[in-house]
Every structure is written in C-alpha cells, then in structure tokens.
Amino acid sequence: MDKMYVNGMKFYGYHGVFAEEQKLGQRFNVDVVLSMDLSKAGLSDELDATVNYGEVYGAVKEIVEGEPVKLLETLAETISAALLAKFTQIDETTIKVIKPDPPIPGHYESVAVEITRGRA
C-alpha cells in the first residue's frame, strides 16, 4: 500500500483534562500517514488524482484548533474519522497526536498517542 505523510503539523489548542489546559491552551503536534493507491497520481501527474496535503492540513487544523476535548485519544479518533470521511481515496490512516508540554512533573520530550484506523 502506498503512503502519504504529513508530518510535524503544529497547532495551538485547548484540549486536556485539567481546567487550566482548556483555559490557557497549549501546543499540539500532529503526524498523519495516509495509506492509499497513489499510482494514478504518479502516472498522470494530476493533483485531482491524489489527496491534496494542503487540504489534509486544513482539516487537521480545524479539528485541533476547534472544539476542546479532554483526551488525545479523542482528538486522534476525530482527526482519523474526518480524513476518512473527506477523502474517499484513503484506505487507512495513522494519526499521531503529540503534546509537547503536558502539565505533569518530570523530564521528558513529550507524550503522544498513535492510532491506525481503516474503512470498515
């Protein structure tokens, strides 16, 4: 299966379990892997034969910068469902949502969840 990657998308959102997170907001990074057949695009060199990654970015931005949710898992599920609904060419998504600065004590780079979802 062919794959398209849109990595390192950076957003500011208001997601989290704690009231301060939903009030003050924080950074979120998202990586997306889209599995689909890219042969038509490769042979035709036409944008309409593939998924426009600018539109992928816009769809993810709308979700991450939109309505707050408590869990990264919910955010990842919402992103995956939206991309599968909007782009019928996609067979499977892998979504990684990264929270660089969660409000927990300790020394670490980030926390993240990653899910893979496909069409039923």
Residue numbers annotated as active site: 99
- The four Cα atoms 36, 50, 54, 82 give a dihedral, to 10 degrees, of -50
Give the whole-angstrom CA distance, residue 13 versus residue 26: 6
Dihedral of CA 6/10/13/16: which sign? positive
